[in-house]
Amino acid sequence: MRRANIPDTGHGSRVTRVVIAGLILFLATTDNRAQSNVVSHASDFTSVEYYAAPNQQQMKSRLSGAEAQPLPGGLLAIKQLQLETFELNGKPEIVVNAPECLYDQLNGTASSPGRLQVQTGDGKIRVEGEGFLWRQSDSFLTISNRVSTVLVPGSDKKN
């Protein structure tokens, strides 16, 4: 906080200084109280990223959860995570589901040491594993451990 340099010219200026100091203290206290009223829990959390112009109306990814609990450092503890990425034409690309994760809003990453399930938009490939990191900036998903992949047989006929 910057201190005002008010010259002391007598009793009246001391009163002025006390009034100014009291006002500054009041404003600082009021500001701290307002900041402590942050929402401590949210239901149906959603964070959406859009493509750059000229496709800014098209969703690139959507990260959602049944619950979000704010943590220090801009982190959110999300329960029942669902992460969806979309092609430019709007078709689903992948869908990621995990019981919980940490979402770093400032760096645009989601991670968890727990299990996750991934499915392609057409449902033909499913991947399961434990531990992941997703980077929103380049839509890159890393699955760390116990990765297994299932290819679902389907029609490859073109209409």
What is 110-141 written as a DSSP string?
Answer: EEEEEEEEEEETTSSEEEEEEEEEEETTTTEE
Q: What is the chain's length?
A: 159
Mean pLDDT, residues 99-103: 95
Q: What SS3 class is residue 4?
A: coil
How does residue 156 score in pLDDT terms, banded at 50, 70 and 90?
Answer: low
Residue with the bigger pLDDT between 8 and 114: it is: 114
pLDDT of 60 over the 60 cut = yes
Distance CA 107, CA 109 (A): 6
Q: Rounded to two decimals, what is the model's pTM?
A: 0.68
Please report the pLDDT score of residue 115 as a whole number.
Answer: 96
Tell me which residue of 113, 48, 35, 39 sits closest to 76, measured CA to CA.
Answer: 39
How does residue 57 score in pLDDT terms, banded at 50, 70 and 90?
Answer: very high
Please report the pLDDT score of residue 74 as a whole number.
Answer: 85
Mean pLDDT, residues 83-107: 94
Distance CA 131, CA 51 (A): 27
How does residue 40 score in pLDDT terms, banded at 50, 70 and 90?
Answer: low
Distance CA 79, CA 44 (A): 10
pLDDT of 18 over the 50 cut = no
